Every structure is written in C-alpha cells, then in structure tokens.
Amino acid sequence: MCLMLSVTSLWLTGCTDRIGMAEQAMSEIRNSPAQPIEPPPKAELVEDFVYSASGFRSPFLPPSLVNLQSSSTATDGVRPDITRQKQPLEQYELSQLIFRGMVISPEGQQYALIQRPDGSVANVTVGDYIGLNDGRIVEITPTQINLIEIVPDSRAGFVERPQSLVSPIS
C-alpha cells in the first residue's frame, strides 16, 4: 500500500512538473515582443490563354451522342413535346432507376432492363423515354443506356443534354 502511494505521488509530481514547464514556456511566448509580419508576395502577371480546341468533339462523350448533340444544337427551338403521351418510366428521376442489363430478342431487337424504385423491372428500347426531363434513349450497350434529355437552359429556353444510365455492375 505504501509502495503504491509513493508511486502515485511520484507520478503526479511528474505531471505537475510537465504542466509547470508548459505554463512557463507559454508565459515566455506571451511576454516576448511581437514579430513583424512579412509582406505578401508580389502577384505575377500571367499571359492570357486562348483555348483553341473548343470546336472539337468532347473526348468524354461516345460518338453516338456527339452526332445527336451536334445535330440538335444546330436547330433552334428545342422544346419538349407536350402532346406526347408520357411513358411509365418518365415518372421517376434517373437517379431512382437502375440499369440491370440488356437482352437481345431472337429478331435482334435490343431491350434494356430497368429496375424501378419499387423493385419491379421494366424493359425499354431505343426511342423510348425515361426520366423526368424527356430523356429519349438513343443507344443501349451492355454497360449503359445513353439518352438525350431536354432541360431548361439559362435563357428561358430548352437545350438537349446527353445523359447516361450506367449499370452498377460493370
């Protein structure tokens, strides 16, 4: 018991000694004169850069979407067809839909299998519409569905925008 008491008091003494040393160092720092602040570095002038590849095709879009996008931007007056009857998968956001795979019929027709939020699966083909922004399917591959959406732009009009629904299992 006595040995334990002496070890505990020695340990506490070591802590107070460290605390005292830290307090002393902090008071020395507080009492030392303030150091001058270095002036900020001078700003260097940078030459303007003109990006000359803006007219080229985007390397991030598949060729099928590039052709559709370039032909759609050439025509003015892009608008959603309000007379078209909405298809069942147009009541969901694209983020709610999951692309589960592709099936090819004996006749060669490609169908994409899309899972709805309730777990049921629907099949769609090229030309069908999905999503809230009039997304028309333009290509079905084994790993993704490419579509063109009609979205409002900042000039109170509409613009066609490429979008993809990618399979979670690549």
What are the pLDDT digits (tens) for 54-68? Answer: 667 777 777 766 665
- Which residue ranges in the chain fall short of pLDDT 50? 2, 5, 7, 72-75
What is residue 1's predicted lDDT score, i.e. its pLDDT?
A: 52
Helix residue spans in the chain (DSSP H): 2-31, 63-74
Q: Which pTM does this prediction carry?
A: 0.54
pLDDT at 130: 92
CA 117 to chain centre: 21
Residue 75 has what pLDDT? 45
Q: Which one, of 44, 52, 121, 56, lies nearest residue 89 by Cα?
A: 121
The predicted structure's pLDDT at residue 74: 43
Give me the pLDDT at residue 27, please. Answer: 93
Residue with tokens 């025509």, as numbered in its chain:
75
The whole-number pLDDT of residue 168 equals 82
Can you give the pLDDT at residue 82?
82
Distance of CA 7 to the CA centre of its chain: 59
pLDDT for the residue numbered 150 = 87
pLDDT at position 69: 53
Residues 6+ apart with CB under 8 A from 124: 89, 111, 112, 114, 130, 137, 145
